[in-house]
Chain A
Amino acid sequence: MGRSVTTQRKAFNTLFAWGIGLLIFFPILWTILTSFKTEATAIADPPVIFFFDWTVENYVVVQERSNYLRFLWNSVIIAGGSTVLGIIIAVPAAWSMAFVPSRRTKDILLWMLSTKMLPAVGVLYPIYLIFIKLGILDTRIGLVVVMMFINLPIIVWMLYTYFREIPGEILEAARMDGASLRAEIIHVLTPMAIPGIASTVLLNFILAWNEAFWTLNLTAAKAAPLTAFIASYSSPEGLFYAKLSAASVMAIAPILVMGWFSQKQLVRGLTFGAVK
């Protein structure tokens, strides 16, 4: 039996929690509201919260002036490309570690994790130099590769924790029935692994989308994704609140929605299976 709760207490909890929740969400809400104001309304004193003439003009202006779609496309390519590339490399590795573990599996996993902890600034110049030498500074392909490396440890780890939950008996049964390794992977493993792979893709897409060290330092005009696009608003364009807000909303909206779907995976992915 669960603890019985009075309606009164539940109502109080609800009120209190919604208040706190809205307070935490307020900066995002405020940004969304401001993006539909005119610049004059945006800096009105006292601030106008809800009753103003809603306009979508800011969104149009942001796209026209700064070619927002190009930055969006760069973000999609960089986040998407790095995730796909990472999955292709990580699936076989995670599969073999989960199903054919050896004495060194644990050490390899922990070592992979340790590469994730390397502070980026410590290797900034070498990467910068390598990029110049290879002629991939400010290119999307360069960023795809770097993002792939940044997230590969997390991808391997997440897949590993998912794969380990697939019962080994099923694979043995398939083997007994004479399934080849290939058939085993395609017909038995893949269908069971799809949900885990999908979650991994989702979380890593989000992480790559929001990454703001390498994207700021390795891109300029051509390959800049949305993180760098927004950074260009730091001054003096940042004082145009309505346009800053419109640009911000466009940069975070798709990922916010994806993020809402990935709460559970977030815990698993970022604690490396230590909290479930």
Chain B
Amino acid sequence: MATQHSRSAARIMMAPAVILLLGWMLIPLTMTVVFSFKKYLPMRGGDLGWVGFENYARFVTSSSFWPAVATTLIVVGGVLLITVILGVLLALLLDQPMWGQGIVRLLVISPFFVMPTVSALVWKNMFMDPVNGIFAHLWKFFGAQPIEWLSNASVTSIVMIVSWQWLPFATLILLTAIQSLDSEQLEAAEMDGAKAVSRFGYIILPHLARAITIVVLIQTIFLLSIFAEIFVTTQGSFGTRTLTYLIYQRVLESQNVGLGSAGGVYAIILANIVALFLMRIVGKNLDT
């Protein structure tokens, strides 16, 4: 249907977005790759020449690398586990008939709209503070010794804060998926005497599989780069240094740009592996 004329018009209309994004992607990316092959210390001599793959080797052999990988895996894995499991349960609950469903939905999705610095600080000071925090009061009420959350259970604390932020996202998407489920199928199963558990296992869960995959992939991409939650709570101490935070410290705090850039390239490769799976699913959806 499209004429030659409208095709070239379309190309012109697309050009600004494409060219700008191309520049936004390629220029910094090229710079990062170039820096990663250099000894580059802005505060101590600047650009000190090419060093080949030395930064890449140093980044992975430094004593903070494997702990950072472990922390990253625990944080991402922990948050995914909590948000997906609780998300499915919450979505099932919210799908039930009840009074004031709309308001409950609003309450549940609210944490997603709280800016990361606010949620991190509110949790840190008003909940996890070992003296005046709500948790400390609760623990004392039950006669237990309050926990110093952010120093003695630091990674758990970060997982809790981030899970609270992302649970609404998982819930909302899974709820949308549940609501698209054909209710006749469920009714038929119920009439045939299928128990609630088997209805869940054989009908609801398979139906949710795709939505769960999408939640996992999208959250993974965002969770790999959480920053503010660590920045305002522990600043990476007490074992909460994730890969993202380690790279940030290398680049801006110790101003070792070469080393940090090599780390950045690793992070980009990692994110792209996850993104590849996500794009497959999204791409398939585009065809229909």
Interface set of A (CB-CB < 8 Å, partner B): 2-3, 5, 10, 13-14, 16-18, 20-22, 24-25, 27-28, 30-31, 34, 43, 45-47, 89-90, 92-93, 95-97, 99-100, 102, 106, 108-110, 112-115, 117-130, 149, 152-153, 156, 168, 172, 181, 206, 209-210, 212-213, 216-217, 226-228, 230-231, 233-234, 238-239, 241, 244-245, 248, 251-252, 255-256, 258-260, 263, 266-267, 270-276
Q: A100-B2, A118-B268, A126-B31 are in contact. Are A3 and B99 (CB under 8 A)?
A: no
B14 touches A124 (CB 8 A): no
When C-beta atoms are compared, the residue in chain A nearest to B94 turns out to be A17
Give Cα A217 to B104, complex, Å.
36
Number of interface residues of B (CB under 8 A): 109
Q: Tell me the interface secondary structure of chain A in the complex.
A: helix
Q: A17-B93, A27-B119, A126-B32 are in contact. Are A115 and B21 (CB under 8 A)?
A: yes
For residue B20, CB closer than 8 A to chain A, the reply is yes
CB distance from A270 to the nearest CB of B (A): 6
Give Cα A25 to B122, complex, Å.
13
B251 touches A125 (CB 8 A): yes
Stretch binding the partner chain, chosen from B49-57, B73-81, B224-232: B224-232
Q: Which of B97-122 contact A (CB under 8 A)?
A: 97-101, 103-119, 121-122
CB distance from A140 to the nearest CB of B (A): 18
For residue B63, CB closer than 8 A to chain A, the reply is no
For residue B43, CB closer than 8 A to chain A, the reply is no
CB distance from B19 to the nearest CB of A (A): 10
Among A46, A117, A209, A256, point to the contact of B275 (Cβ < 8 A): A117
Among A97, A149, A210, A216, point to the contact of B14 (Cβ < 8 A): A97
A213 touches B108 (CB 8 A): no
Q: A21-B104, A45-B137, A270-B169 are in contact. Are A93 and B16 (CB under 8 A)?
A: yes
Q: A212-B115, A212-B228 are in contact. Are A274 and B98 (CB under 8 A)?
A: no
B281 touches A21 (CB 8 A): no
A252 touches B25 (CB 8 A): no
11 A-B pairs whose Cβ atoms sit less than 8 Å apart in the complex: A17-B94, A20-B93, A30-B134, A95-B13, A96-B9, A100-B7, A114-B275, A227-B116, A230-B232, A241-B132, A248-B118
- Chain B residues contacting A234 (CB-CB under 8 Å) are 121, 124, 232-233
Give Cα A244 to B117, complex, Å.
11
When C-beta atoms are compared, the residue in chain A nearest to B261 turns out to be A125
Q: Which of B264-288 contact A (CB under 8 A)?
A: 264-265, 267-268, 270-272, 274-275, 278-279, 281-283, 285-287
